Homo-oligomer: A and B are copies of this chain.
Amino acid sequence: MKHRLSVFFEPESVAIIGASGTVSKPGYDVIRNILANDFKGKIYLVNPKGGEILGLPVQPSVGSLPDGIDLGIIILPAKETPQALRECIDKGIKHFVLSAGGFAEFDEYGARIQQELTGIIREKGIRVLGPNTSGHTSTPHQFTSTFFPLGKIRRGKVSYIAQTGNFATHSMKYILTGEHFGVARVIGLGNKIDIEESEALEFLGEDPETNAIIMYLESIKRPRRLLEVAREVTRRKPVIMLKSGATEAGRHAAVAHTAAMAAEDRLVDGFLRQAGIVRIRDYTHLILAGKALSMLPLPKKNRVSFLAPSGAMLVCLSDLCIRVGLDIPELAPETVKKLQDITPPYIRMRNPVDIWAAASRGIELGYREGMEAVLNDPSIDAVVPILMLTKDTGIPHYSFIVELAKKFPEKPILVTFSGDKYYMEECRSVIEPLGVPTFFEIEEPFEILSILVRCARAMNRP
């Protein structure tokens, strides 16, 4: 049985109330986005001016629409939204995205309109995303209601729930231009007058297109319900959350306030732990964790091996592992023997692996044999190569890393670099589209691996 929110993600027909012929208006860009994503359903446009926009005919009023369209996107000013909503309901539309801002987040007048919308929802039993949302996206259905110009959105297995517009707009832009992973669903909740995070999470929990869920929330509307849903979903799929909302920090950064926030923050910590949701702290990790979850299996446990071309890095990164809760176990004697076989006798191999001398006999050989040895070790759950890339010491064929990732599908490999930025970018552009994530800063694979370990623990909790 389909989830009651499914229609939002696989509409067969959509009406855009407030379609615009003016380039770079939201009512124009939303159409451009829908076309850029090759939406296969029917598209109806409404604007009193009629005519044609981007080759599609425009209806002069909602009344001219056929009955029973799946989804209405109302992209009109706040004060015109309730009337348009009523007209759409009269035409049998039951699911809506309300894009405009200017409601409760704006002023008293907007709050009254929002109240009116809430009344309509209760009375008519329709379902609403927003208002004040930057829309939603469903790549398996090649559909989006986003009005921020994004073009074709890459398909992937990770879904995002974001309270505010930024994620669905600029951060998605960054993912599309700077990263090599895609998304399944993106849900911008906006003012949450109807659909809120617990229902969105419930949908994604059942969604076969979604393997992992990442949430950005500033407030939790129905904590009890979210706890109930999350406790169940998080046993099947990793769920990560950036929960901010220490808004007092923005106003008064006094120590007293910080202390108060820290206390409240501990409550949030406890709540999320109970819910099986893994909390993260950095906005950047919303993106990097999304990349990792798109490409990698979860590690069995927290036991990492890493291979670095420098003693300094081995030491610094060992410190970091401890800080983020990763274990660096001793290797099996057979593993040590294999590592010793590729290394000059004056270096005693152990975990973490000083790969410098082995790699100086051949970068690819050193890293390939070294990585294979530790990947074969039953006491190792994940491997991070710090790949030495400078023309002077030789550039390897990057594909050996992809081959190792295929050979050890149950062990995450997270790649980072040391050396020449040009080759770092080159390596990234080769191996990421083939499913091996890379990270420019050497701390990041460890920080992200630690998030994956916490996800695995949450899923396997008693």
Q: Which residues of A contact B (CB under 8 A)?
A: 24, 29, 102, 106-107, 148-149, 162-167, 169-171, 173-174, 177-178, 216, 218, 242, 244-247, 249-251, 253, 258, 261, 281-284, 309-323, 326-330, 346, 350-352, 388, 390, 392, 418-422, 424, 440-443
Q: How far is the CB of A252 from chain B (nearest CB, A)?
A: 8
Q: Cβ of B166 and Cβ of A312 under 8 Å apart?
A: yes
Q: Cβ of B315 and Cβ of A418 under 8 Å apart?
A: no
Q: How far is the CB of A18 from chain B (nearest CB, A)?
A: 18
Contact of A246 among B29, B106, B310, B318 (CB under 8 A): B318
Contact of A314 among B102, B250, B282, B321 (CB under 8 A): B250
Q: How far is the CB of A88 from chain B (nearest CB, A)?
A: 26
Copies in the complex: 2
Q: Cβ of B282 and Cβ of A443 under 8 Å apart?
A: yes
| Supplied contacts A173-B420, A177-B419, A282-B316, 20 more A-B pairs, CB within 8 Å | A164-B310, A164-B311, A167-B312, A170-B388, A173-B390, A177-B422, A242-B316, A246-B319, A246-B322, A247-B318, A249-B322, A250-B352, A251-B350, A253-B326, A258-B322, A261-B322, A281-B319, A283-B316, A284-B441, A284-B443
Q: How far is the CB of A305 from chain B (nearest CB, A)?
A: 11
The CA-CA distance from A148 to B388 in the complex, in Å, is 13
Q: Which residues of B contact A149 (CB under 8 A)?
A: 390, 392
Q: Which residues of B contact A316 (CB under 8 A)?
A: 242, 244, 282-283
A-B contact pairs, 5 of them (CB 8 A): A163-B312, A244-B312, A261-B322, A283-B312, A284-B441
Closest residue to A261 on the B side, CB-wise? B322
Known: A392-B24, A421-B177, A442-B284. A310 touches B346 (CB 8 A): no
Closest residue to A107 on the B side, CB-wise? B346
Contact of A171 among B102, B107, B318, B418 (CB under 8 A): B418
Closest residue to A216 on the B side, CB-wise? B312
Kindly list the 4 A-B residue pairs having the minimum CB-CB distance in the complex, ordered from nearest.
A178-B421, A166-B310, A149-B392, A250-B318
The CA-CA distance from A326 to B249 in the complex, in Å, is 10
Closest residue to A178 on the B side, CB-wise? B421
Q: Cβ of B312 and Cβ of A164 under 8 Å apart?
A: yes
Q: Cβ of A315 and Cβ of B245 under 8 Å apart?
A: yes
Q: Which residues of B contact A281 (CB under 8 A)?
A: 319-320, 323
Q: Which residues of B contact A441 (CB under 8 A)?
A: 282, 284, 441
The CA-CA distance from A149 to B249 in the complex, in Å, is 48
Q: How far is the CB of A459 from chain B (nearest CB, A)?
A: 23
Q: How far is the CB of A287 from chain B (nearest CB, A)?
A: 9
Contact of A166 among B311, B321, B322, B330 (CB under 8 A): B311
The CA-CA distance from A258 to B107 in the complex, in Å, is 53
Q: Cβ of B247 and Cβ of A166 under 8 Å apart?
A: no
Q: Which residues of B contact A321 (CB under 8 A)?
A: 249, 253
Q: Which residues of B contact A283 (CB under 8 A)?
A: 312-313, 316-317, 442-443
The CA-CA distance from A106 to B281 in the complex, in Å, is 42
The CA-CA distance from A167 to B315 in the complex, in Å, is 13
